[in-house]
C-alpha cells in the first residue's frame, strides 16, 4: 500500500532525509545478512573448485578406463616394450602378463578377406559412359550390359540376400544410397563402385576363411556379372586364416592381429604361402622409463593437489574485510573494489575441518607400509618441511626410484597396486574398512579416501555433501545451498518488515505535519482575533 508522503511543509524538516537516516540503521541488519550470504556463496564456490581438482586427479590416476595412468592397475606399473627384427613383417605389443624374453614367429601366410570383383558392367563403358552414384536404380538397370534389373510390380523394389541378411532397394533410389544400405547392414560386406574401371568390388569386412554368399533377387548379381544360377551361390574368392609358427608351434587365426601369452602380434603385410618368409624375433622387456614416468607424474600431480588444498587451509583470513554493500561500492574506485574483494575472499576455507581431515588421511595412507614395504624403500620420501603438507620427494632426482624399478619391479608394482579381498562400499563397517586398508596398496588407499569425499553415487561424499557439484542433484541439495536458502528467506522477511517500518515512519511524519498545519492554522486565527480586539474597542 502506498503512503501519501507530505514533506516538511509545516515543520520545515526534510522528512525524506530523516526517514532515510532512520532506515539506514534498520537496513544495516539486512546488509549483514546479505554479506553472510555472499560469504557462504564464495565458500561454496571455493569448495567446488577444490572438489573439481580432486576429481580431475582421481579420474587421471584411479580410473579403470585410463589403463595408461591408472595407478591401481598392475598393467600401469608393469609396462612391457617389444622390439621386432623385422617390423615391416611383424610388430607386437605386450601386456603386463607377458614374460620378459625373446620369441620367434614365422608367418606362413597372412589372413585375407573374401572378395569378389566384377568386370566392367556398363554397356558403353569403352566409350566412357560410366555409371554414376547419383543414377537411380531404374537408370542403372538400363545401362547394365547384363541387365535389366527386375523390380516388383507392386512396390517397385527388389530384395537381395547377402550372407543371410535381406536387403531391399527401391527403383527410384540412387545407386549411392543402395551401396550405403549394403555397407551399413549386418551382411558384413563393404561394396565399392569405381567409375574409372566401371567395376563393383565386394569385400568382407573381416578377414578369415569365409565366403560371400548371395541370392539373385531382382537379378542384381546376374546383371553385374557375378552370378549365373538361381538360389544361394558363393561369389568371388574365399578369405583365409593367418597361419604361423611361434617358437616352432603351429597356429592359425582369422585376423592378422592375435594375442598369445600376453603378446599381441600384428602381421603387417600380405604374405603368401609360397613366400617362405624368414622368422622374426621379438624381444620383450620391462619398459622401465614408462613406469618411472608414470610414478613421477603421479607424484608431481599429487603434490600439486595437496599444495592447493594446503594453500586453502593456510590462506590468511582478513575478517574485517566483509563483502561490500551496494552503497559502499558507490564510494570506491574499481581498483579499490577489486583489492577489497580479494581480501574479503581470502582464507574462507582456512582450517576447514573436512579438507584438513582428508589431507591428513592422505598423508597417513601413504606413510603406512604395504606388506612391510614403505615408500622410502623405492626412493620416495615426505618433505621434511612441515609447511609442505606432506609433499612427496624423489630422492637423488629420482635415481633411487629408477634403481628400484630395475632391481625389483614386482615390489614397486605391489606397493601401489596390491588389491584387497574386500570391495569398496560406502557402508563398510569399521572392521571391514580397516581390513581393506591393510590389504590394499597405496593407490587403492588414496582412491578410497578420495571417494569418501567426492563420490556422487552410493550416497554423496563428505565434500560433495557440503558444496555439491555442478550438473548433479547435489548442485542444489547441499549444506551450503541449504544455509543460503535459509538466509534468503530471512532477508526477504526482513525486507518486508523494513518496508512496513518505512511506511509507518512516513505515516507518522505525515500525521505530525498535518497536526502542525492545524496548529499553525489555529495560531493564525487566534492572531487575527487578537489584532481585531483594538478595532472593536474603538468602534464602541
CA distance 497 to 505: 12
Q: Name the phi and psi angles at 172, rounded to 5.
A: -95, 0
Alpha helices in 90-184 (DSSP H): 137-143, 175-183
The SS3 call for residue 122 is strand
- Residue 59 reports pLDDT greater than 90: yes
Question: 3.40.50, 3.30.70, 1.10.357, 3.30.200: which CATH number matches 115-235?
Answer: 3.30.70
- Residue 259 reports pLDDT greater than 60: yes
CA distances from 361 to 56, 162, 229, 448, 474 (A): 19, 62, 77, 10, 24
At residue 214, the pLDDT reads 95
CA distance 146 to 124: 12
Give the CB-side neighbour count of residue 425, counting CA atoms within 13 A: 10
The SS3 call for residue 522 is helix
At residue 124, the pLDDT reads 75
At residue 495, the pLDDT reads 78
Nearest in space to 70 (alpha carbons), one of 400, 406, 295: 295
DSSP 174-199: BHHHHHHHHHTSTT-EEEEEETTTTE
- Residue 519 reports pLDDT greater than 90: no
Average pLDDT over residues 42-46: 96
Give the CB-side neighbour count of residue 297, counting CA atoms within 13 A: 15
- Residue 184 reports pLDDT greater than 80: yes
Please write the tens of the pLDDT for every residue from 488-513: 998 888 877 777 776 776 676 676 76
Q: Quick one: which H or E segment has residue 201?
A: strand 199-204
- Residue 21 reports pLDDT greater than 70: no
Angle at 263 between CA 261 and CA 264, to 5 degrees: 125
Preceding peptide of 79 cis, ω within 30°: no
- Residue 271 reports pLDDT greater than 80: yes
- The percentage of residues in the chain with a pLDDT greater than 90, rounded to a whole number, is 74
Average pLDDT over residues 33-45: 94
Q: Cell 487566534 appears where?
A: 526
Average pLDDT over residues 160-174: 95
Q: How far does CA 186 lie from the centroid of its chain?
A: 32
Please write the tens of the pLDDT for every residue from 358-377: 999 999 999 999 999 999 99
At residue 75, the pLDDT reads 87
pTM of the model: 0.75
Question: Which grid coordinates are listed for 523?
Answer: 495560531
Average pLDDT over residues 519-534: 72
Question: Which grid coordinates are listed for 504?
Answer: 509507518
Please write the tens of the pLDDT for every residue from 73-129: 988 999 999 999 999 999 999 988 899 999 999 999 999 999 999 999 998 766 556
**First CA to last CA across the chain, in angstroms?**
58
At residue 509, the pLDDT reads 65
CA distance 107 to 376: 48
- Residue 2 reports pLDDT greater than 70: no
Alpha helices in 151-255 (DSSP H): 175-183, 220-223
The SS3 call for residue 138 is helix
Angle at 143 between CA 140 and CA 147, to 5 degrees: 85
- Residue 28 reports pLDDT greater than 80: no
| In the chain, domain spans | 38-73+290-471, 80-111+241-286, 115-235
- Residue 164 reports pLDDT greater than 70: yes
CA distance 173 to 179: 11
Q: How far does CA 367 lie from the centroid of its chain?
A: 31
- Residue 158 reports pLDDT greater than 70: yes
At residue 31, the pLDDT reads 84
- Residue 535 reports pLDDT greater than 70: no
CA distance 394 to 387: 18
Give the range among 19-33, 78-92, 311-325 with minimum mean pLDDT: 19-33
The alpha carbons of the chain give a radius of gyration, in whole angstroms, of 42
CA distance 207 to 64: 31
CA distance 297 to 291: 10
CA distance 404 to 396: 13
Amino acid at each position: 500500500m502506498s503512503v501519501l508522503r507530505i514533506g516538511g511543509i509545516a515543520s520545515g524538516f526534510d522528512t525524506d532525509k530523516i526517514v532515510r537516516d532512520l532506515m539506514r540503521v534498520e537496513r544495516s541488519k539486512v546488509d549483514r545478512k546479505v554479506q553472510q550470504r555472499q560469504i557462504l556463496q564464495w565458500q561454496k564456490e571455493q569448495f567446488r573448485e577444490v572438489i573439481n581438482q580432486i576429481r580431475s586427479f582421481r579420474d587421471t590416476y584411479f580410473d579403470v578406463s585410463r589403463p595408461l595412468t591408472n595407478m591401481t592397475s598392475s598393467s600401469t606399473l608393469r609396462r612391457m616394450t617389444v622390439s621386432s627384427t623385422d617390423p615391416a613383417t611383424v610388430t607386437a605389443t605386450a601386456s603386463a602378463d607377458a614374460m620378459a624374453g625373446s620369441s620367434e614367429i614365422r608367418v606362413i601366410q597372412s589372413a585375407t578377406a573374401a572378395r569378389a570383383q566384377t568386370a566392367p558392367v556398363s554397356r558403353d563403358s569403352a566409350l566412357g559412359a560410366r555409371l554414376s552414384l547419383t543414377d537411380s536404380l531404374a537408370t542403372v538397370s538400363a545401362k547394365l550390359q547384363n541387365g535389366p534389373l527386375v523390380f516388383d510390380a507392386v512396390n517397385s523394389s527388389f530384395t537381395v540376400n547377402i550372407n543371410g541378411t535381406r536387403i531391399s532397394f527401391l527403383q527410384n533410389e540412387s545407386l549411392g544410397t543402395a551401396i550405403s544400405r549394403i555397407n551399413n547392414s549386418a551382411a558384413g560386406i563393404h561394396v565399392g563402385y569405381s567409375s574409372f574401371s566401371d567395376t563393383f568390388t565386394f569385400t568382407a569386412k573381416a578377414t578369415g576363411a569365409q565366403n560371400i554368399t548371395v541370392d539373385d533377387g531382382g537379378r542384381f548379381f546376374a546383371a553385374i556379372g557375378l552370378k549365373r544360377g538361381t538360389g544361394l551361390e558363393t561369389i568371388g574368392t574365399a578369405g583365409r586364416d593367418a597361419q604361423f609358427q611361434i617358437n616352432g608351434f603351429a597356429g592359425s587365426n582369422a585376423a592378422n592381429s592375435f594375442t598369445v601369452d600376453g603378446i599381441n602380434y600384428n602381421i603387417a603385410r600380405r604374405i603368401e604361402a609360397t613366400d617362405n618368409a624368414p622368422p622374426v624375433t621379438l624381444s620383450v622387456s620391462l619398459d622401465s622409463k614408462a613406469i618411472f614416468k608414470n610414478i613421477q607424474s603421479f607424484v608431481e600431480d599429487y603434490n600439486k593437489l595437496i599444495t592447493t588444498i594446503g594453500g586453502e587451509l593456510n590462506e590468511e583470513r582478513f575478517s574485517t574485510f566483509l563483502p561490500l554493500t551496494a552503497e559502499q561500492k558507490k564510494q570506491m574506485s574499481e581498483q579499490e573494489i577489486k583489492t577489497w574483494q580479494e581480501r574479503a575472499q581470502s582464507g574462507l576455507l582456512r582450517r576447514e575441518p573436512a579438507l584438513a581431515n582428508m589431507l591428513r588421511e592422505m598423508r597417513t595412507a601413504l606413510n603406512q607400509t604395504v606388506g612391510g614395504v614403505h615408500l622410502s624403500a623405492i626412493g620416495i620420501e615426505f618433505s621434511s618441511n612441515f609447511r609442505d603438507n606432506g609433499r612427496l620427494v624423489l630422492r637423488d632426482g629420482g635415481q633411487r626410484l629408477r634403481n628400484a624399478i630395475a632391481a625389483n619391479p614386482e615390489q614397486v608394482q605391489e606397493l601401489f597396486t596390491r588389491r584387497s579381498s574386500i570391495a569398496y562400499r560406502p557402508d563398510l563397517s569399521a572392521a571391514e574398512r580397516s581390513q581393506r586398508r591393510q590389504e590394499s596398496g597405496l593407490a587403492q588407499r588414496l582412491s578410497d579416501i578420495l571417494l569418501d569425499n567426492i563420490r556422487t553415487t552410493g550416497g554423496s561424499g563428505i565434500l560433495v555433501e557440503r558444496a555439491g557439484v555442478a550438473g548433479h542433484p547435489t548442485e542444489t541439495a547441499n549444506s551450503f545451498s541449504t544455509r543460503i536458502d535459509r538466509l534468503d528467506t530471512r532477508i526477504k522477511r526482513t525486507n518486508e518488515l523494513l518496508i512496513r517500518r518505512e511506511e509507518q515512519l512516513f505515516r507518522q511524519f505525515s500525521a505530525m505535519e498535518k497536526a502542525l498545519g492545524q496548529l499553525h492554522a489555529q495560531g493564525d486565527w487566534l492572531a487575527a482575533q487578537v489584532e481585531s480586539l483594538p478595532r472593536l474597542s474603538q468602534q464602541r
